[in-house]
Structure 1
């Protein structure tokens, strides 16, 4: 995933929008001592201001070059900020802005100055005046504001607490960033190769290429669905990982080149590790200087733009290549560069490319911050009755930000949970440690801070409790009760076991030897009786070999008699052994010769596809010749994984009917049969293989007699179907049998997460 996203981000400094359309300040009138009139504030020389229009309101963006951060100010805030030149005191600035028509109090000016110093875009110092004898400093060393309500120039701005330092250290264990080189130089060199893709002609070619690639995929969506199931084919993991790295490098080059062509200065580029996963990144923070929204959107989507072009080329390659490994690899390239990129990088619920595009389109800077702040306030209002603060946005943008926050929180909960489980399983011990750090950083510490905030809102009353503390304890008891319930109560959901329909006691006649088919006496749909001749084959060489073996046996027996008469017992034993071996070969030849006349061993119907096509052809040993079965006698073959065996056995003992749903829409009920004694790896039916759209994960078999085998051993059961149901369904139909889940709900959720994080 690309991490070209802003290093600092656009930060709204204040809470309440003003009528001028900016971020505004809270209303004046706060209690407290007056600010120090001799305090001087100077905006850092590295800070530059530019105008920006957000939602039809004019704002100003303050860019701190050294910090690489952006801050959004309203018209009034900007008017006040430009007066912080380090020469005039707060009192003088208040007098000046009052004359200019800005109705701020001295306290408002002091609070604004304090916020600028806290954000490190301004500094404070005292004017050269003699202190009065009775003045004392009542501020603490950890405060940015002295006892007079103004900024303390001696205090370090925004000093991190111990908890903040601990969270910073935890962040380093989960995510580390390593700058490697100047991204501007890379963009200049790559512009000659990649740059034309962003020209007018390049965009036209991209539209044709991506559009045609989508048509190829849509036209062959069934085949691509099979390729999706083979995404984790171990045979191509190394090549797929190599391509993934190259694709992400191309992704970041796209951001850099597009920013370069729009006149944006590119910062450092390098690699970062997020939960052990290597990710490329490039710093295009200066893209926020661009006044045109379309230019910023183009830069944000440049990486996805190039990857989709690669995915379309891979789709065409898949369609043109013959069946084999290159074709399969092309399909995997399409999946990685296409759907996977759209799911991650273009997803507006993750703070990546799609998020910044949505933020620009909605004209809501810091969409995530605003939405989650509003969502948090709503939750606190519902749970504790805390007042909702003055909104930072108005109109449709306010509910839009809240809705985005709800969707992103839900999505990221499952997304991050899956990542944590995957890392814990794939990286073993180190992965478990990183997963614990991530859980501590993303869940436990933020939850602890929020609980501490609610607990300390008011001093304790009776028994040290107050309204907020009592509610907090009550909600905690409810959560504990719910967790206990889901931990021990049975899951309300069901388990599903894969099944396939097949004929019961079906006769599958195969060629006993390599031979020519000389006669076929039946055709599809014919009803036959047991013992009826079906197919005749001819192989004269077998007769010759049989006669030769018979002669060899006779000679070996005669030599054994002669050696015994001479008293040569060892040679006698050798000849007898040779005769026995030849006798076994003769029996096998006789069986092959007898098998050249294929007869029915049961009553039934010929279900083979046109057996007469075999007439005059050469059949290899083991080749299927004809099938005999009864359409009224079918059975359900169920394959049960190790994790479902106990539950399946419980369903068998209960003798309850289970719902069976087959592809094609047929639904009926059947009583599960007992599992066969042993689990097997051999694929019991070809329709079950994931490689052909079935539900069972398979891999190439080590046995030359079969092509695929199941990745994990499965037990089997054979459930006979009644005549009516047998006539309703078709052999080879795949479906699922539903059985009750005996796990707790919490265990069910955990097992599903583990299964989704484990490559099949």
Structure 2
């Protein structure tokens, strides 16, 4: 937070002749930053805070409006080697005049020129703030709701809630995984819903900063009542913000760090309460909102706010605790100097700043990882959003920096020649040098001899065997039908009544015996049918098999019918081999079928995984094109790669004909029957540009369903 340049000022000689005086509206405080004393001053003109070296601050005491800057500098003692020299003091005075810390009687500063140029305007798209007013006026609402958190007993309550939420989520880990799997069907409406949740959470996040800043400042006798707030655009994404730069007037780095972490602290409370409510909530829209709340807090706090590689809360907490300030600017300059030194142009002492440069490199890599993640999410929502994100990122972080670098290198032709040569070499290598290539193909895993289990009778599901291997004769599903039991009891009572009537008719009226016998035969037939149905209430295995209760586990206590089309589960013989059925669309089919032959081994991984878990050997490399999917899970509606339309029976039918590639697993596989898998098919090496072109064609082909 050094004194930064402001409006254009006269040269150093002209400033040295001025006789400025300290602005009475200026506020200052002595802090120890990075083990060294500094003075923090509030610039009244720009409403910002600046860090001054003690020697520059001592110079302010000599500026009383009667002596010039040059005279005041001459009265200063000699500067140490690591302190600002006389010329730097004059430049610092010029900056303080531009910010309103010093005033020159009888003179007016020229107005600050607005930034010009299309490059600056486009750069503003990455980060822009829209001031909406003073949040301090609403602190009377937020202070009772959040102020208790910043007390010792409030911290104990926070720990108890966070511990309870963590324990509940560990206990209900299967439910958590099931809810996570539901995110695979995340759509545009879910994105809007998540953004609303994100905005509400961030409002409380920023209010937490303001409440904590007011309390921490009051602990040192300072008063902070004004907190400018509004909406900031970060990578074109709107989010609330609050300005707590007044915390520079607080001396304790621990209090400043607490204010920096206050937003994450408040979000942790929100996430803990949402996690506890989610654990006991019934399935439905409300439970989804609670789960999204926990995820939004986890992603926004852990990946962004708490991360010191991003210039957000974690960055400032680290700066306050370690006494490292302006790390981003220092890291960028250090990385530039080291890069120029490698090219023979940078300063000789550039390598001494390798630590800030290393932080800058890590921060840049992390930001680009986030940018690629944004592109991936945008493509998942809609092709146009993904293409827009790609163009925006290339414009802001590739095209504009390249143009700026070109303008900066115009004065250094040697460096410009080296950079141009490197760029041409990289481009030529990308166009000419073949590199390994591969393609990911989707498919399903099936077990030969697998049998789907349906409800053979009407009844209520009372017991379901857990997934896993079962011996012959073990029970899979147990049903119960109270109506059938009552009917059987009534038939048994009716049979006893008919027996009494038969005896009476034998003695009194033998002519009634034929009717009684007919009724008795019908009764026995009905009893036999009911007992046969009751015998089918228990579904057992005929041979050792692996039981996969895909639907039955969620039906415990529910009523099922014998005419239900959806199976309750799948029974797979333990000795059955695993068959991998891969689907190829028209765009990928030619490449893959030309790259594999019968007997080719393919690495197979689980859907969405990063590491192959087993291999499969291709059994048929030249199949005929077909018009049906091996599984509906491979359609785009289910998150798969194949564009489909509704068939005559409502089943998904490929928009275009597909190819199927079959392979057999080479070892025992733990994946369940019907699981989605991905095969990694090695293609002939080709240049990077060719691979990117094919990848773009495949993306267009799938997104537009051409």
TM over 0.5: yes
Q: Which of 205, 209, 212 is residue 258 of structure 1 equivalent to?
A: 212
CA distance in 1, matches of 2:190, 2:643: 12
Structure 2 residue 361 is matched with structure 1 residue 406: yes
Separation in 2, partners of 1:36, 1:512: 96
1:429/1:605 Cα in 2 relative to 1: closer, same or farther (>3 Å)?
A: closer
1:422-448 Cα shifts (integer Å, max 9, x gaps): 679979889977875664444433443
The equivalent position to 1:185 in structure 2, one of 114, 117, 137, is 137
- Aligned counterpart for 2:146 among listed residues 194, 214, 221: 194
The whole-number CA distance in structure 2 between the counterparts of 1:433 and 1:377 is 34
Aligned-partner Cα distance in 2 for 1:258–1:74: 28
What displacement does 1:666 show?
5.2
Residue 620 of structure 2 is aligned to residue 620 of structure 1: no
Of 40, 48, 57, the match for 1:61? 40
Query: What is the rounded CA distance, in whole Å, between the counterparts of 1:357 and 1:680 in structure 2?
Result: 57
- Say whether residues 1:717 and 2:671 are aligned partners: no
Query: Which of these residues, 654, 657, 680, is aligned with residue 738 of structure 1?
Result: 680
The answer on whether the counterparts of 2:441 and 2:582 sit within 8 Å (CA) in structure 1 is: yes
Q: Give the deviation of 1:183 after TM superposition.
A: 0.9
1:677 aligns with 2:625: yes
Q: Which residue of 1 aligns with 2:615?
A: 668
Structure 2 Cα separation of the partners of residues 429 and 661 of structure 1: 30
Question: Distance between the aligned counterparts of 1:674 and 1:753, measured in 2?
Answer: 23
Match in the other structure for 1:337: 297
1:92, distance to aligned residue in structure 2 (A): 2.1
RMSD over aligned CA atoms reads 5.0
SS in 2 for 1:677: coil
User: In 1, Cα distance between the equivalents of 2:284 and 2:644?
Assistant: 13
Q: CA deviation at 1:618?
A: 7.2
Q: Report the secondary structure of 2:67's partner residue.
A: strand
Residue 19 of structure 2 is matched in structure 1 by 40
**1:363 offset after TM fit, Å?**
0.5
C-alpha spacing 1:34/1:322, structure 2 compared with 1 (3 Å): closer
Superposition deviation, residue 283 in structure 1: 1.5
Report the alpha carbon displacement of residue 250 of structure 1 after superposing the two structures with TM. 1.4
- List aligned pairs for 1:183-262, cutoff 5 A: 183-221=135-173, 223-231=175-183, 233-234=186-187, 236-262=190-216
The equivalent of 1:114 in structure 2 is 94
Instruction: Give the CA deviation at 1:82.
Output: 2.8
Distance change in 2, residues 1:334/1:610 (3 Å): closer
Q: 2:305 touches 2:312 (CA, 8 Å); kept in 1?
A: yes
Give, in whole Å, the separation in 2 of the partners of 1:381 and 1:489: 29
Using the TM superposition, give the Cα deviation of residue 206 of structure 1 relative to its aligned residue in structure 2, in angstroms.
0.6
Paired residues, what number? 595
Aligned to 2:424: 480
Q: Is the 8 A contact 2:635 2:643 kept in 1?
A: no
Secondary structure of the residue aligned to 1:87 is: coil
Task: Provide the rounded CA distance (Å) in 2 between the counterparts of 1:120 and 1:173.
Answer: 29
Q: Give 2:55's match in structure 1, choosing from 65, 71, 76.
A: 76
Q: CA deviation at 1:495?
A: 2.9
| C-alpha contact (below 8 Å) 1:12/1:366 kept by paired residues | no
Q: Quote the offset at 1:244 in angstroms.
A: 1.9
Q: 1:70: Cα distance to partner?
A: 1.9
Indicate how the Cα distance of structure 1 residues 323 and 748 shifts in structure 2: closer, same or farther if over 3 A, else same: farther
1:100 deviates by 11
Q: 1:507 to 1:45 in 2, by over 3 A?
A: same
Q: In 2, distance between residues paired with 1:434 and 1:12? A: 36
Shift of 1:185: 0.9
Q: SS of 1:217's equivalent?
A: helix
Calculate the TM-score normalised by the size of structure 1: 0.65
Q: Are 1:659 and 2:634 matched, yes or no?
A: no
TM-score normalized by the length of structure 2 = 0.70
SS at match of 1:721: strand
**Matched residue, 2:370:** 415
Q: Secondary structure at the match of 2:65?
A: strand
> Cα distance, 1:177 vs. partner?
2.7
CA distance in 1, matches of 2:645, 2:212: 48
CA distance in 2, matches of 1:112, 1:610: 74
Q: Which residue of 2 aligns with 1:50?
A: 29
Contact 2:3 2:52 in 1 (8 A): yes
Instruction: Please name the residue that 2:506 is paired with.
Output: none
Alignment gaps of 5+ in structure 2: 6-10, 219-223, 461-468, 474-535, 537-541, 553-559
- For 1:308 and 1:676, how far apart are their aligned partners in 2? 56
| Distance apart, 1:415 and its partner CA | 2.4
In structure 2, the residue corresponding to 1:445 is in which secondary structure? helix
Q: For the residues of structure 2 that align with 1:431 and 1:698, how far apart are their CA atoms?
A: 19
Q: 1:278 to 1:428 in 2, by over 3 A?
A: farther
CA contact (8 A) 1:486 1:744 kept: yes
Alignment of 1:283-432 (within 5 A): 283-388=243-348, 399-416=354-371, 418-419=373-374
Q: Is the 8 A contact 1:300 1:353 kept in 2?
A: yes
> Judging changes above 3 Å, is the alpha-carbon distance between structure 1 residues 368 and 81 closer, same or farther for their aligned structure 2 residues?
same
Structure 1 residue 407, shift from structure 2 partner: 0.8
Residues 637 and 716 in structure 1, CA contact (< 8 A), matched pair in contact too: no
